[in-house]
Structure 1
C-alpha cells in the first residue's frame, strides 16, 4: 500500500472496530474514539445472533393497522413513552410511509449484501485477533405455535426465499426432538442453517479492539464534538479537550451519529429504537440454538453461562430511564417458552439501536468533504452487518471498488 493514512473512527462499537481491523490490515494508522470503552453500548447489549436472514424490515404491509393495537396491549413487544410522542411524530410518519410491499422489497435487497453472509464476514474479521473464540456457528430457528401461525408470516418468508434463504420445517415432535427445552405450545419451527451467534458480544468487540491496540492503534476515550475541515478536507476530530489530527474520519457512533452527520451536511432522520435484554444467569438448561419466538417477537440466545432474551422495541428517545414493563414481558415470555427452566440470577439492560426512517444503513463517503465517511443506522442488525460495513468502508478509503452497489446506502441521500 502506498497511500498510508491516519484515520480517526468516531464510535467503538462493532462497525467502528470492524473498520479499524480492516484499515489496519491495509496498513493505515487508526484512532478509535468513543465516549465509553469499546463494545460498551449496543454492541454489548444486542441479541447476539448473526441473523443473516433478518432482511425483512419491521415496516411490513399492515403495520399501520397493527401498531395501535400493539402499543396498547401489555403483551405486545412494542412500547412508547408518550411524553416523547410529539418529538417522534415526524420521524414516525416517514418510517410508516415505507410499510408497503414495494419498499419492503427494496429494503430487503439493500440489506442482503450487508448481512447475508454474516457468519463468514465475522470469521474473516476475527481471524488471528483472539476474538474467534466467541464465534459459534449455529442454526437459527423461528418458532411458531403451529403451521397456521407460520403461514401468517408468509410475506416475510417469501422475501427471504427470493434472496436465496432456505429453511427446514420442523413440525410437532420433530421440533421437540431437535430441542426438548421448549413448551409443547410451540409446535412448528423454521430452521435456517449457516447462521451463528456470539457467546459474549461485548467481550467480542473488546477483544477485537484490543487487537487493534496491540497492533499500534490508539484508543481514546472522549466525546467528539465535530469533524475539523480545512478547504473542504478533513484535518482532525474535535473532542472535549483537544483536536486529534487525522486526514480521514469515519462516523460510526450509532444513534449518536446524527448530530455529527448534520455538521457534515447530512441530515439523517434517525431515532433510537430502545432495545432491552434480560439475561438468565446459570440456567438449568440451554436452548440448542438461538431462536426467534414469533408469538412474543423475542430472541433467546445461548451465551456463556446464560441465556439472553432480547427483542423489545420502545420509542422514548435517548434520555429517559428504562421502563419496567419490557423486562416483565420478557420474563413472562421466557417462562411460557421454556417452562421447565430455572435460573440463579438475572441481569437487565437497555440500550439504543440507531433507526433511520428508511430502514437502510448510512454507509459511504460524505459528498463535498474529502476524507469524511459514515457507517451507522443498522437498526437491530448492527452486530450482523458490522463486519461487512467496516470492510466496505476500508475498501472505499483504499480506493478499491467493492463488489456491491453502495449507492443505496450513500449519505448523499440525506444531504441538506
Structure 2
C-alpha cells in the first residue's frame, strides 16, 4: 500500500541526497533539501568521476593487516595516517580490519553489486530531462597493472567480479598500447571493463541535478542540522540553525558528516572519514582514452572537461585536520611514471572526506525505533556510482513500496544500540 504525500527533509546535498530528493519529487512528495554549504560541496565535487559498476571489492581484503606497516611507511604507497589521530581511530580500525577476510569480502561484494551494478543506467534514468544528462559519458573502465603477475595478485577480486557476472578483456603489452598509447613501460597489463561510464564534471553534474530539483518544487535550505525532532516515536521535524523545520520523514544522507546525527538516533560506531585527495592537471598534453585505475598506486585518472583528474589515496586523520602535502606529491610522481612526458598548464588540489563504514557496506533504510527516519550514507569509494540507486530505494521506502531487493545487508539496525533514541 502506497503512502500518502509527505514532506520529506533530505539532509545532505551530495549525489545521494540529491538523488533521493529527485526520486521523492517524482513520487509526489514535497521535498526540503538541506546542506550546510550547498549542493556538491563535499565528496560529490571531488570524487574520481568514474561510474564504477564493478567497484564491489572493499579496501579491507585478506592480507591487509600484514601489509599495513609497509603501506604506511613506503614512500610510494597510497595509505597515510596522521599519527596523533590513531587513539581515536583505533576502535573503528579494529572493527574494519576484522572484516579483512574472504567471506566478508564476498558478503560486501554481493551487497554492493545490487547497488552499483547498473550505475550507468541508473544515472541516465536519474538525469533524464534534468539538463544534467550532458555530463554522463558511457566509457570503458581500465585497470592498469605492471604485468600479468601483478594482475594475478588481485585474483580474489577478479574471481568475485566474475561470480557476479562482470566481464572484461585482458590487454597485454602490444594489445594495451594499441588500445591506448598514453601509458609508458611501467604499465604492461590492462583489464578493459566495458559498459561503465564517467561524469565529465561531477560537481557541476550534481549542481545541475539540484537545480532541477528546485525547479520541480524542492526547497533548498543552507544550514546546519543539529537534531531530529520526534514525538511518540515519529519524526516531526529537524532543528536547523536553532529553528524547527517541520517534516514527516527525514533522510540522513550527509556522507562523512552523518556521524553526530546518526548517534543521536541511536546508531553508533559506524563510520570514519577516509580522507581522499585529487590533483587536477589542466590542459594536459596526454589524455587517456578512458578512465583508468592505476592499480599499483590505487588512484584513478579520469578525463574531464579541460583537465585530467587524479583521485584516490586513503588518509586517516579525522574531519578537522588540514590537507597533507605528501598525497599530492605522490599523485604527481605516479602519473609521471605511468604517463612519461606528460605536461600540463596548471594544477588544482582538493581534499575531502569519504564516509567509510567498518563493514564497508552503506547504511540504507529505516532507523529502528523512529518512524519516518531513514539513513543513506556510508558508500566509501562508490558514492557517485551508487547514489542514484540508493536515492530510488529510499524514495520507494518512503512511498510505501517494497524495493525489489533484500535490504537487510544495508540496515542501520546492525549498528543500532539497544536503547532507543529519546
Matching residue of 2:116: 115
Q: Tell me if structure 2 keeps the 8 A contact 1:254–1:354.
A: yes
Once residues 241 and 93 of structure 1 are traced to their aligned partners in structure 2, the CA distance between those partners, rounded to angstroms, is 37
Find the aligned partners of 1:35 and 1:382 in 2 and give their Cα distance. Answer: 19
Q: For residues 244-273 of structure 1, give each alpha carbon's deviation from its aligned partner in whole angstroms, at most 9, with x where no partner exists.
A: 111111100011111101111111421000
Report the Cα offset of residue 2 of structure 1: 6.7
Q: Distance in 2 between matches of 1:367 and 1:329?
A: 43
Counterparts of 1:123 and 1:216, CA distance in 2: 21
Cα contact 1:301–1:309 (8 A) shared by 2: yes
CA shift digits 1:296-352 (9 cap, x unpaired):
111000000000001100000001000000000000001111112210000000000
Say whether residues 1:360 and 2:361 are aligned partners.
yes
Shift >6 Å, 4+ stretches? none
Residue 252 of structure 2: aligned partner:
251
2:381 matched residue in structure 1 = 380
Paired position in structure 2 for 1:199: 200
Please give the alpha-carbon distance, in whole angstroms, between the structure 2 residues aligned to 1:161 and 1:2: 39
User: How far apart in 2 are the matches of 1:268 and 1:22?
Assistant: 29
1:65-113 CA-to-partner distances (Å, cap 9, x unmatched) read 1111110111100000000001000000000000111111111111110
Write the mapping of 1:15-414 to structure 2, written as runs, cut at 5 A.
15-414=16-415
CA contact (8 A) 1:183 1:339 kept: yes
Q: SS at 1:107's partner residue?
A: helix
Q: Kindly state the Cα deviation for residue 285 of structure 1 after the two structures are TM-superposed.
A: 2.3
- Checking the alignment, whether the CA contact within 8 Å between 2:278 and 2:351 is kept in structure 1 is yes
Q: Distance in 2 between matches of 1:320 and 1:66?
A: 25
Per-residue CA deviation, residues 154-185 of structure 1 (Å, 9 max, x unaligned), is 11100111111110011111111111111122
CA contact (8 A) 1:275 1:314 kept: yes
Moved more, 8-17 or 257-266: 257-266
Secondary structure (helix, strand or coil) at the match of 2:5 reads coil
Measure the CA separation in 1 of the matches of 2:16 and 2:186.
38
8 Å CA contact 1:275–1:312 kept in 2: the answer is: yes
Q: Is the 8 A contact 2:259 2:271 kept in 1?
A: yes
| Distance in 1 between residues matched to 2:129 and 2:315, nearest whole Å | 38
C-alpha distance in 1 between matches for 2:380 and 2:256: 9
Structure 2 unaligned blocks of 5 or more: 418-422
Secondary structure, aligned partner of 1:186: coil
- Secondary structure of the 1:385 match is helix
Q: Is the 8 A contact 2:3 2:400 kept in 1?
A: no
SS of 2:258's partner is: helix
Find the aligned partners of 1:377 and 1:298 in 2 and give their Cα distance: 20
1:8 touches 1:30 (CA, 8 Å); kept in 2? yes
**What is the SS of the residue equivalent to 1:123?**
helix
- Partners of 1:57 and 1:359 within 8 A in 2: yes
Kept in 2, the 8 Å contact 1:167–1:190? The answer is yes
Q: In 1, distance between residues paired with 2:88 and 2:288?
A: 40
Q: Is the 8 A contact 2:3 2:398 kept in 1?
A: no
In the alignment, the residues of structure 1 paired with residue 101 and residue 221 of structure 2 have an alpha-carbon distance, to the nearest angstrom, of: 43
Distance in 2 of aligned mates of 1:15 and 1:164: 26
In the TM superposition, what whole-angstrom CA distance separates every residue of 1:189-223 from its partner, at most 9, and x where no partner exists? 00000000000001100000000001111000000
Distance (Å, rounded) in 1 between the aligned partners of 2:62 and 2:401 = 38
Corresponding residue of 2:420: none
Return 5+ residue gaps in structure 1 as ranges. none
In structure 2, how many angstroms separate the alpha carbons of the residues matched to 1:268 and 1:34?
Answer: 23
Cα deviation, 1:4-60, whole Å, max 9, x if unaligned, reads 111000000000000000000011110000001101100000000000111011111
SS at match of 1:329: helix
